[in-house]
């Protein structure tokens, strides 16, 4: 389990699994798509690009340096992602990535990397998120969905991206779920 400040660490975790001989499917909880590229991003924020890097998209500089091989798009489940930028909508419309609502989450049957960007949670339940998005699933609903992935017994690694500003109290609210994951 890797606890981090944004989603970019996922690339290292997936590369590490591959190096260990595991070809993981991915279940990715996030309010955002994280499928931007250096060419399409208007902000240049690397935390908006890691899932696209994982499926082999665009610039391969980081991927090649860390030995990350592309995961087939069809092995990726993107959960919620209710706040997509136009280039992300365009990409996902033609990609085999399964973009699903949190209440219709398919569970992969092979080894699975479970990635949770906590901003998937409705901003009402986690104060101080860096990029809050309204109208999302509440914290208990996210916890239940995460448990349903864990219950299948296929999770081989977990990434918990704690995308909040320090001092707003989010860490206390997520502590129970984090302890369950650990
Ligand atoms: Mn993210």
Residue 73 in any domain: the answer is yes
How far is 169 from 182, CA to CA, in rounded Å?
20
Tell how far the Cα of 161 is from the centroid of ligand 1, in angstroms: 7
Residue 170 in any domain: the answer is yes
Would you list the DSSP string of 31-85? Answer: EE-----TTT-SS--GGGSHHHHHTT-S--HHHHHHTPPPPPGGGEEEEEEEE--
pLDDT digits (tens, 9 = 90+) for 73-107: 999 999 999 999 999 999 999 999 999 999 999 99
**Which pLDDT does position 58 carry in this prediction?**
78
Identify the CA nearest to 117 among candidates 33, 21, 18.
33
Tell how far the Cα of 160 is from the centroid of ligand 1, in angstroms: 10
Residue 109 in any domain: the answer is yes
Tell how far the Cα of 21 is from the centroid of ligand 1, in angstroms: 26
Residue 16 in any domain: the answer is yes
**Which pLDDT does position 21 carry in this prediction?**
98
Tell how far the Cα of 82 is from the centroid of ligand 1, in angstroms: 12
Residue 24 in any domain: the answer is yes
Q: What Cα–Cα distance (Å) separates residue 3 from each residue in 13, 89, 97, 182?
A: 11, 28, 24, 10
**Which pLDDT does position 151 carry in this prediction?**
96
* Rounded average pLDDT over 55-64: 92
Tell how far the Cα of 152 is from the centroid of ligand 1, in angstroms: 24
Tell how far the Cα of 117 is from the centroid of ligand 1, in angstroms: 5
Q: What Cα–Cα distance (Å) separates residue 20 from each residue in 13, 14, 16, 76, 171?
A: 11, 10, 6, 19, 31
Residue 169 in any domain: the answer is yes
Tell how far the Cα of 29 is from the centroid of ligand 1, in angstroms: 8
Tell how far the Cα of 109 is from the centroid of ligand 1, in angstroms: 24
* Rounded average pLDDT over 36-49: 95
Tell how far the Cα of 150 is from the centroid of ligand 1, in angstroms: 20
Range of the domain at 82: 2-176
* Rounded average pLDDT over 97-121: 97
Total structural domains within the chain: 1
Q: What is the largest CA-CA distance in the chain?
A: 40
Cβ-contact 115, 35 below 8 angstroms: no
CATH of the domain at 66: 3.40.800.10
Question: Torsion-angle region of residue 139: left (phi > 0), alpha (psi -120 to 50) or beta?
Answer: alpha
Tell how far the Cα of 48 is from the centroid of ligand 1, in angstroms: 6
Note if the pTM is more than 0.95: yes
**Which pLDDT does position 38 carry in this prediction?**
93
Residue 19 in any domain: the answer is yes
Tell how far the Cα of 64 is from the centroid of ligand 1, in angstroms: 21
pLDDT digits (tens, 9 = 90+) for 124-179: 999 999 999 999 999 999 999 999 999 999 999 999 999 999 999 999 999 999 99
* Rounded average pLDDT over 52-57: 96
pLDDT digits (tens, 9 = 90+) for 1-15: 999 999 999 999 999
Tell how far the Cα of 20 is from the centroid of ligand 1, in angstroms: 25
Residue 182 in any domain: the answer is no
């Amino acid at each position: 389990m890797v606890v981090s400040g944004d989603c970019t660490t996922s690339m290292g975790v997936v590369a590490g699994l591959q190096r260990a001989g595991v070809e993981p499917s991915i279940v990715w909880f996030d309010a955002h798509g994280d499928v931007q590229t250096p060419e399409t991003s208007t902000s240049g924020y690397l935390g908006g690009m890691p899932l696209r890097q994982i499926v082999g998209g665009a610039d391969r500089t980081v991927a090649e340096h860390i030995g990350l091989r592309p995961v087939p798009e069809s092995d990726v489940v993107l959960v919620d992602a209710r706040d997509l930028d136009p280039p992300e909508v365009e990409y996902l419309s033609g990609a085999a990535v399964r973009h699903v609502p949190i209440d219709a989450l398919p569970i992969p049957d092979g080894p699975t990397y479970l990635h949770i960007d906590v901003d998937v949670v409705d901003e009402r339940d986690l104060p101080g998120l860096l990029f809050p998005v309204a109208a999302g699933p509440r914290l208990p609903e996210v916890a239940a969905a995460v448990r349903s992935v864990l219950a299948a017994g296929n999770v081989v690694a977990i990434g918990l991206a704690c995308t909040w500003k320090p001092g707003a109290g989010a860490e206390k609210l997520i502590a129970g779920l984090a302890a369950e994951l650990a």
